[in-house]
């Protein structure tokens, strides 16, 4: 079964609202998780590195005030898309690393902003 | 900037034939490479990986080849099956930044009967 779970798997929201996506490591602790964004028929692009107990590290061009990341525990990272607009509609995917070094991806969360 | 890219966006393969998916990378600092399979609406699924100190690695029906001289990576799928139809991505991880993957553009593999 899945070792990294995302919730919700899909969400539709109105423009201007905020949406929170959760990423959980189910049977291991992850001090670091990663958030990716994937537009239709495109590749995954790394958005940010989520660090437990400290601030996230954002990739160049990703607005930290737009995409709020909170890694409050060793098994949970959340991505909040604030004041979402249609151009934020995308497939958001997280990954987490077990202490053995194995990387696991979540099943993704599809956001549609109307 | 440096990136990982693919030569072919779509690959049509007859069932039972072998598939070869190619990937070019430009970051000489990359030391770990992974191939992922992604089905529609799902997250990436690990297929096989290879470290930069190797040039070949085999799994079940899959083989990854790494040519560091020309910065080229390939995935070979033997006896392609309908269930292999998906988008395949190569990804690279640079030394010192474990877990931060840079993905290639992806190749859509379509298996025909």
- Residue B67 CB partners (closer than 8 Å, separation 6+): B55, B73
Query: Average pLDDT over chain A, rounded to whole?
Result: 94
Distance of residue B28 Cα from the nearest chain A Cα, in angstroms: 19
Q: What is the pLDDT of residues B28-54, one digit of tens each?
A: 889 999 999 999 999 999 999 999 999
For residues A55-82, average pLDDT: 95
Distance of residue A1 Cα from the nearest chain B Cα, in angstroms: 12
**CA A53 to each of CA A35, A69, B29, B76: distance values in angstroms, whole numbers, following the listed order:** 16, 11, 29, 41
Percentage, residues of chain A above pLDDT 70:
98
Instruction: Tell me what pLDDT residue B3 has.
Output: 45
Sign of CA dihedral B83, B88, B93, B94: positive
Task: Render each residue's pLDDT in chain B as its tens digit; 113 residues.
Answer: 344 554 448 999 999 999 999 999 888 889 999 999 999 999 999 999 999 999 999 999 999 999 999 999 999 999 999 999 999 999 999 877 889 999 999 999 999 98
Rounded to whole angstroms, the Cα distance separating A98 from A101 reads 5
- Residue A25 CB partners (closer than 8 Å, separation 6+): A3, A4, A33, A74, A75, A76, A96, A98, A104
For residues A20-40, average pLDDT: 95
Instruction: Tell me what pLDDT residue B15 has.
Output: 97
Cβ atoms of B91 and B6 closer than 8 Å: no
Give the pLDDT band (50/70/90) at residue A48. very high
Q: What is the pLDDT of residues A50-68, one digit of tens each?
A: 998 889 999 999 999 999 9
For residues A79-94, average pLDDT: 97
Distance of residue B53 Cα from the nearest chain A Cα, in angstroms: 17
CA A10 to chain CA centroid, Å, is 13
Give the pLDDT band (50/70/90) at residue A1. low
β-pair type (A109-113, A10-13):
parallel
Interface test with B, best of A8, A24, A43 (most B CBs within 10 A): A43
Instruction: Tell me what pLDDT residue B4 has.
Output: 57
* Residues of chain A with C-beta less than 8 angstroms from the C-beta of B48: none
- Count of helices and strands (H, E) across chain B: 0, 11
Instruction: Tell me what pLDDT residue B105 has.
Output: 92
A108–B42 C-beta distance less than 8 A: yes
């Amino acid at each position: 079964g899945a070792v990294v779970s995302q919730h919700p798997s899909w969400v539709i929201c109105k423009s201007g609202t905020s949406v929170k996506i959760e990423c959980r490591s189910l049977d291991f602790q992850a001090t670091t998780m990663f958030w990716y964004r994937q537009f239709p028929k495109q590749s995954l692009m790394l958005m940010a590195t989520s660090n437990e107990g400290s601030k996230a590290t954002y990739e160049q061009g990703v607005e930290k005030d737009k995409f709020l990341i909170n890694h409050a525990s060793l098994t949970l990272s959340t991505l909040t898309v604030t004041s979402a607009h249609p151009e934020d509609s995308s497939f958001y995917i997280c990954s987490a690393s077990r202490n053995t070094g194995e990387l696991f991806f979540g099943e993704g969360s599809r956001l549609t902003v109307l | 900037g440096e990136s990982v890219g693919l030569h072919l966006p779509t690959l049509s393969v007859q069932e039972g034939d072998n598939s070869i998916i190619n990937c070019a990378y430009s970051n000489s600092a990359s030391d770990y490479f992974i191939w992922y399979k992604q089905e529609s609406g799902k997250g990436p699924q690990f297929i096989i990986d290879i470290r930069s100190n190797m040039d070949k690695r085999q799994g079940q029906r899959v083989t990854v080849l790494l040519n560091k001289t020309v910065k080229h990576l390939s995935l070979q799928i033997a006896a392609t099956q309908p269930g292999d139809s998906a988008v395949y991505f190569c990804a690279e991880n640079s030394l010192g930044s474990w877990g931060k993957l840079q993905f290639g553009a992806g190749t859509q593999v379509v298996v025909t009967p």
